[in-house]
Structures are given as structure tokens and as C-alpha cells.
């Protein structure tokens, strides 16, 4: 049965055969779907091809056919944010997370709405790291992997001055050995209460949430993680040379 007027965000598009694309989308009512867009090459098809770029918000008609549907038509609902540098890389990272963790054809209206919010935040003035940590938290919650970040498994409220290991199954576990990779209770409480923490605590949350996400992603790392690490290494080398 044809689906008409379905709003969706483009997560990824890749060439298929000579003139077509396979487009991965996060839709409002059908969750993550994949469709074939046939014959999108050529000047006359430029508006459609432009509407199928990552981050674009569109309205589409499609025919569901198992894992891979067929696009009938699509139109852009707005102009995708013009991101550059770290913000563009962050968008690719969030899209890759959804592609890896969100099952196809599993309705996720909360994630659809949240993606629209974070898409706007990426183009705003909010600290980028905080935007990412909040989305990671909300994604885990929406997928059923959410953790109580303000208390231990026993219901004990976190001590802001104590250190914790964020276990993917148990949540915060007290780390009395103060391992360097542990996270402060203050940082976890800030994330639980949606309060922007100091930069040091924000860096701690990055490692903690990456560990949880890795447990659900399995042995295959995200490509964007490797690219982000390489960018950080290059920046570090450049800063070192400029300081000499």
C-alpha cells in the first residue's frame, strides 16, 4: 500500500546502479526506512536529488517493499542547515548512530522529534559536546537502553564528589579505586538533570557514554569515531607546532 505525505529526515544516500540512489530515512510514522530513488541523475532531476541529501527534512510518497521500498516522490520541507567542520562531522556521527542502532521499520516518533531538535541545535550556539551527550542519552532511552544516571542500582543517589563507572546494564557503579576512566558523580547528575556541566565533566561524559554505546554497537566501531579521533590528533599536532 502506498504511503503518502510521510515527513522524514535523510540520514544517508548512496549510489545504486547507474542513475539511482538508496536513501536511508528517519520517518515520523515508520521509523527508519530505506527506499530506492530511481533515475535521479540529470538536470531535470536536480530538485529531487537535492532533496535527498543528508540532514534534509522532506515529505515523501513511497511504496513499502520489504526491507527496501521504492520512492515515488519527495519534496523538501525546509533548507537543511549549512554545517561545517566539527558540526558537520557531528551530524554524520549522529546519523551513523541511528543507522547502526535503530532497527528498520520500527516506529520511533520520539526519536523523530528529537532528531529535528538536535538538527537545529547543531546550527546554534550551544556547546557541541553538550548537544551530542544529550542526544546520546536520549537515543539510549528511546531504544530501551536508558540508564538511571542519578542513582546506583540500589537506589542510592550519586555523590557529586565520588567517582563512578557507567555500566551498560547496571548504570553508575561506585569506583572506589578512582580509575582515570571513571566519571564524577557531579557529571552524571548534570546529565540526568539536563544541566550543562563544566568542560572537564563534559569530557568525562564523552568517555562514559561511548563505553555504553560500544556495548550495544558490538565489535564494529563507528567510522565517525575514527575520523573524529584523527581530527583531534591533527589539531593537537598543529597546536604543538604553533607553540614551538
Lookup: cell for 121 = 541545535
Note the CATH number of domain 3-76.
2.40.50.140
Segments of 38-156 assigned E as strands? 57-63, 69-76
Classify 126-243 by CATH class: mainly alpha
Q: What are the structural domain ranges in the chain?
A: 3-76, 126-243
Q: Is 144 helix (H, G, I), strand (E, B) or coil?
A: coil
pTM for the whole structure: 0.89
Residue 65, pLDDT score: 86
Each residue's pLDDT expressed in tens, for the chain with a length of 244 residues: 899 999 999 999 998 888 899 999 999 999 999 999 998 876 556 778 888 999 999 999 999 988 899 999 999 999 999 999 899 999 999 999 999 999 999 999 999 999 999 999 999 988 999 999 999 999 999 999 999 999 999 999 999 999 999 999 999 999 988 788 899 999 999 999 999 999 999 999 999 999 999 999 998 888 888 776 655 555 555 545 544 4
Instruction: Classify residue 43 by its DSSP letter.
Output: G
Backbone angles phi, psi at 138, to 5 degrees: -70, -35
C-alpha to C-alpha distance for 75 and 148, rounded to whole angstroms: 40
Contact 37, 46 (CB under 8 A): no
Segments of the chain assigned E as strands? 3-16, 20-27, 31-37, 57-63, 69-76, 163-167, 171-174, 183-184
Lookup: cell for 237 = 599536532
Backbone angles phi, psi at 9, to 5 degrees: -110, 140
State the virtual CA torsion across 146, 150, 152, 156 in degrees, nearest 10. -150
Residue 231, pLDDT score: 59
One fold for 3-76 and 126-243: no
Amino acid at each position: 500500500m502506498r504511503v503518502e505525505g510521510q515527513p522524514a529526515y535523510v540520514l544517508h544516500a548512496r549510489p545504486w546502479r547507474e542513475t539511482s540512489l538508496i536513501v536511508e530515512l528517519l520517518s515520523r510514522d515508520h521509523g527508519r526506512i530505506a527506499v530506492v530513488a530511481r533515475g535521479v541523475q540529470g538536470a531535470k532531476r536536480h530538485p529531487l536529488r537535492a532533496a535527498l541529501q543528508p540532514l534534509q527534512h522532506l515529505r515523501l510518497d513511497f511504496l513499502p517493499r520489504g526491507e527496501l521500498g521504492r520512492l515515488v516522490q519527495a519534496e523538501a520541507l525546509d533548507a537543511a542547515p549549512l554545517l561545517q567542520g566539527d558540526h558537520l562531522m557531528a551530524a554524520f556521527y549522529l546519523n551513523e548512530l541511528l543507522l547502526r542502532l535503530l532497527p528498520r521499520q520500527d516506529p520511533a516518533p520520539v526519536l523523530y522529534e528529537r532528531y529535528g531538535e538536535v538538527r537545529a541545535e547543531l546550527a546554534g550556539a550551544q556547546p557541541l559536546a553538550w548537544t551530542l551527550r544529550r542526544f546520546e542519552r536520549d537515543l539510549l532511552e528511546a531504544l530501551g537502553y536508558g540508564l538511571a544516571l542519578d542513582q546506583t542500582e540500589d537506589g542510592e543517589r550519586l555523590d557529586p564528589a565520588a567517582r563512578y563507572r557507567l555500566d551498560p546494564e547496571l548504570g553508575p557503579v561506585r569506583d572506589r579505586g578512582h580509575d582515570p576512566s571513571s566519571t564524577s558523580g557531579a557529571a552524571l547528575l548534570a546529565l540526568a538533570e539536563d544541566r550543562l556541566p563544566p568542560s572537564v565533566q563534559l569530557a568525562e561524559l564523552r568517555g562514559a557514554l561511548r563505553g555504553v554505546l560500544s556495548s550495544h554497537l558490538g565489535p564494529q566501531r563507528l567510522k565517525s569515531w575514527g575520523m573524529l579521533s584523527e581530527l583531534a590528533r591533527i589539531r593537537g599536532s598543529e597546536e604543538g607546532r604553533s607553540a614551538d
